[in-house]
Chains A and B, each alone.
Chain A
């Protein structure tokens, strides 16, 4: 079930919310939590019930492995169970997410012809697996205690963050469920939650879905892109991805607040970053934290000495893994790797105390991010190259129709090219609007701090909500559901 659907907004969410607080007050909180687990599993299965056994077995295996680890006194036995548990998680990911990619590469490399039925990616598998790996590591390192089945399940399946994050830690979320104050409906949190949810809905329905049309046209329906088309296509995707994913995160955080749960922030104006290290501290923050804690740190620690060179090697490997985590394709690995290289360049510059003027630093960072996202969106390396060729002016360079007046074109003796998009005027307006929003406007977290729940806030929220509801006529999934 999508957050941006009538069914979710008008039925699932209100029923789950009212049911939860009603059960908490009339029966007890344990049943309330069970209600949330069952609702969340319903939410998950609504897409495709065939993956319900998968998520349930993932929860069961991880729950019992971590219990066993916590109960086991002998260190080598503990380690063995931990490695088996970790292996199970990596196997699930490997089988459901990377098997096809692996077999494709085998076929290519050995010119073989292994036939296999392609698997549909189980929804949210990358997210719920990552979250549970972190839990398993914490159990192995002795910083978590024995949990109840209901609590553990709720930590994994709590529906706001189940499909695409923010990636949460057990203590982070379940500590809040424990607090007695949070078991009762809180009108301030409810208002704040609705406000953030609507902000996210607006980003998704009005902004991301508009840019998505242009990005899809350029990437999927056009064979050759001229210079302006190529830039229009790549910028459209950058804005689409940002508004789509940060919109999704806002909605998740908003729903969290309705249940009195504060989920960690995931975005902090990433497109304002002035270098790539800065970018990763602002973009998909909870993933960066996970990769830093559970991938980069053990890699660095595996070296005898923590010096600059070793840290950079670890950083590069960690970023490549982060790329591969997004999807089973060379484009994703390359995406992670070039970001790894950019981080190395940034750290080296810092070490040599090289500082760029702020505007230039932003310009370089933004273009790098945009070029990276083109690779991220492309279905193959040649698909990415198609867009890059256009952006570099290697195809053909024509002035777009509609932007410059016909009389100017004629007087200069140039020919008139194709349109950039199906509606160049709207495109330019949206592009300028996009830049203003990402560069000059307060982000969701800043707006949240300013939110007072006044009549004015209510009117703004209601206005945006109505606007979005009319835009909800088409169904569009979130990009990060594919990871």
Chain B
């Protein structure tokens, strides 16, 4: 999978989670850019991403995710591509 492909799926998941199709997701999108992105929706997002990509984030990795791009990189790393 490429970065663009992963990002596309992340965008779909984020749009679905926040119920807003107008959200534009880029690598630098972070919690401040999306209304309602708080600790609660964050864990739901993580869980949806884990289920979709069949990966598991370590607890210590969650804290280092500062934006969508960090998550994209981590997903790619875990997928080994």
Contact = CB atoms under 8 A, between A and B. Distances in A.
The 10 closest A-B pairs by CB, nearest first: A141-B58, A138-B60, A143-B58, A306-B47, A293-B63, A293-B59, A143-B60, A293-B62, A289-B63, A311-B40
Contact of B38 (A134, A144, A277): A277
Nearest to B47: A306
A298 B59 contact: yes
Nearest to B50: A301
7 contacts: A281-B39, A293-B62, A296-B39, A296-B43, A297-B43, A306-B47, A347-B38
Contact of A169 (B38, B39, B46, B63): B63
B26 interface: no
Interface residues of A, number: 25
Nearest to A143: B58
B5 interface: no
Contacts of A347: 38, 40
A292 to B, nearest CB: 6
Nearest to A134: B60
A308 B62 CA distance: 20
A294 interface: yes
Given A306-B44, A306-B47, A277 B59 contact: no
Interface string A265-298: 0000000000001000100000001001110111
Q: Is chain B's interface secondary structure helix, strand, loop, or mixed overall?
A: helix
A144 B36 CA distance: 32
A106 B20 CA distance: 54
B38 to A, nearest CB: 6
A29 B41 CA distance: 44
A347 B39 CA distance: 10
Interface string B6-37: 00000000000000000000000000000010
A393 B36 CA distance: 39
A169 B59 contact: no
Contacts of A141: 58-60
B58 to A, nearest CB: 4
Nearest to A286: B63
A306 B47 CA distance: 8
Contacts of A138: 58-60
A137 interface: yes
Interface string A135-166: 00110011110000000000000000000000
A311 B41 CA distance: 10
B39 A277 contact: yes
Given A137-B60, A277-B39, A306-B47, 20 more contacts: A134-B60, A137-B58, A138-B58, A138-B60, A141-B59, A142-B58, A143-B58, A169-B60, A169-B63, A289-B63, A293-B60, A296-B43, A297-B43, A297-B59, A301-B47, A308-B40, A311-B40, A315-B40, A347-B38, A347-B40
B59 A306 contact: no
Nearest to A298: B59
Interface of A: 134, 137-138, 141-144, 169, 277, 281, 289, 292-294, 296-298, 300-301, 306, 308, 311, 315, 347, 350
Contacts of B60: 134, 137-138, 141, 143-144, 169, 293
Interface of B: 36, 38-40, 43-44, 46-47, 58-63
Contacts of A292: 39, 62-63
Given A277-B38, A350-B36, A294 B43 contact: no
Contacts of A301: 47
A311 B59 contact: no
A79 to B, nearest CB: 14
A462 to B, nearest CB: 36
Given A306-B47, A347-B40, A297 B62 contact: yes
Contacts of B40: 308, 311, 315, 347
A137 B59 contact: yes
Contacts of A144: 60
B43 A143 contact: no
Contacts of B47: 300-301, 306
A281 B40 CA distance: 12
Contact of B43 (A142, A169, A311, A350): A311
Given A300-B43, A306-B47, A311-B43, A294 B38 contact: no
B66 to A, nearest CB: 12
A294 B59 contact: yes
A336 to B, nearest CB: 16
Contacts of B43: 296-297, 300, 306, 311
A361 to B, nearest CB: 15
Q: Kindly name the residue among B40, B44, B47 whose own CB sees the greatest number of chain A CB atoms within 10 A.
A: B40
A482 B44 CA distance: 36
Nearest to B60: A138
A280 B24 CA distance: 28
Contacts of B39: 277, 281, 292, 296
A297 B44 CA distance: 10
Contacts of B46: 297
B43 to A, nearest CB: 5
Nearest to A289: B63
Contacts of A169: 60, 63
